Structure 1
Amino acid sequence: MTTTLLPAEVLGRMVASDPGRPRLTWYDDGPGPTAGERIELSARVLVNWVSKAANLLQDDAAAGPGTTVGLDLPAHWRSLYWALATWSVGATVVVGDASLGADVLGADVLVTDSPAAAAGHGGDAVLVSLPALARSHPEAAEAPGAVDEARELATHGDLFSPMSDAEPGDVALAAAGVDTAYGDLVVVEQAWGPSPRVALAGGLEQVLHLALAAWAVDGSVVLVRGDRTDLADRFASEAVTVDARESA
């Protein structure tokens, strides 16, 4: 018999299994202000980020079941905790290219790294700084109505308790016209074996699905950005067992 596993339960299981083991490792090999970054989050630290973001969504934006949260972000370690936070409050994550039919910018809450998108959003907006050590967004003044995540997220609580829970049939992920229910979101990849170390890269929708699949079997994720192909040594040092990059 198949048991439905929800994202919040995936997080809880990881903490119960081994709170200190790395669960999300991020490498940025692309151009820009975050080039060269390596970030590593244990289950405990990941849940801390998720709890703070979920408290922000629930307390400041009244997000819950029925709320849509647009993630106007690249596949990035910050995108993962915002998606998990959205699922923790029982809301719907919206991802994808707006030009291809994804209503990201029209979501009830917009989480974006673009000051222009945040300023133009008619509802609640969160302006995200991608660099790991950012203490405020350098262009926050251009979106005065948005929450400056780097400045304000730390003020929210480390523990989260949802006011309402999503039902298995509620929409968890909306991507360019394709909706995935909470009950269908976490799909276990049995071929990966127990506790896999999974390399990921590519579009945000695919990364979200595969990260959940890895974590559901007590695994971990190495998420990379950029066009480098000479990653064999890195993956060996990170003990990667599955290369599930979209372009691999």
Structure 2
Amino acid sequence: MSQVLPELFAAAVRRDGARPFLTYYDDVSGERIELSAVTTANWVAKTANLLADEYDVESGDTVAIGLPPHWLGVVWALSTWSAGAALTSGTGTIAITGPDLTIRGERETVASALLPLGGRFREPLPDGVRDYGAEVYNHPDVFSPYDAPTPTSPAYDDLTHEQLIRTADPVADRILVTRTLTDRNGLGLLVGVIAGGGSIVLCRNLDAAKLERRVADEKVDRILEG
């Protein structure tokens, strides 16, 4: 098994790229989006190119993710690692936030409107805040890192790539979760799914009345609480 996270995900794409990897629901907005591993990889490449070309992200930089449970959080985690940077639970060199603008980065703050398909904001953003949806589509679907991570490169706070991979339990099931996948426990779960060939149904604002039907419709094997 690869000890570098971008290679681990690339192996999953090669293994079964057309299979659903991440299915996202928001029961308040009514949004549903299904991302295969290949589609996820396209978003990751676009975002990694944005990080490297527009925001000058490189090895030694950190990215803070201040998003609710959302498919873009997964994209930003994988993109950060592809660009050679690390995720942080603190203040990042770069920060990605939702429309509430709850966090700021030391060098750049990027915001997502969290609209379907990563759509742009409909109203102007404050000075110094970049609109992810307005910028990401300008970038290509293939990413070539300038400074690729190594197994001992930081991945999340004091954890390296090899440590995050080694401590993740492989998950082969299709799991339903309502929690963020970008904190320490969530990243362990995400890496486990990538390593084990599983898939995720990520539900934001879950309507409990819809749970039983969703489990059946999505062929969920397990529901993970918390």
Aligned pairs, number = 222
Task: Compute the displacement of 1:133 (Å).
Answer: 4.5
Q: What code does the residue aligned with 1:242 have?
A: R
Residue deviations 1:188-233, cap 9 Å, x none?
A: 435x4xx421212224413332122112111111111124334122
SS at match of 1:39: strand
SS at match of 1:142: coil
1:185-224 correspondence runs (5 A): 185-186=164-165, 187-190=167-170, 192=171, 195-203=172-180, 204-205=182-183, 206-224=185-203
User: What residue is the counterpart of 2:160 in the other structure?
Assistant: 181
Over the matched positions of the two proteins, sequence identity in percent amounts to: 33
Partners of 1:133 and 1:13 in 2: CA distance: 25
Distance 1:170 1:133, change over 3 A: closer
Does structure 2 retain, via aligned residues, the 8 Å contact 1:58–1:64? yes
SS at match of 1:61: coil
> Deviating runs (4+, > 6 A) in structure 1?
none
Residue deviations 1:35-89, cap 9 Å, x none?
A: 2111100111000000000001111111122101111111210111011100111
SS at match of 1:83: helix
User: What residue is the counterpart of 2:223 in the other structure?
Assistant: 243
Q: Which moved more, 1:10-19 or 1:156-165?
A: 10-19
Distance 1:201 1:63, change over 3 A: same
Calculate the TM-score normalised by the size of structure 1.
0.81
Structure 1 unaligned regions, length at least 5 = 96-102
Does structure 1 retain, via aligned residues, the 8 Å contact 2:19–2:37? yes
User: What residue is the counterpart of 1:100 in the other structure?
Assistant: none
Alignment root-mean-square deviation, CA: 2.1
Match of 1:125 among 96, 109, 125: 109
Calculate the TM-score normalised by the size of structure 2.
0.89
User: What residue is the counterpart of 1:138 in the other structure?
Assistant: 122
Q: Which moved more, 1:13-22 or 1:204-213?
A: 204-213
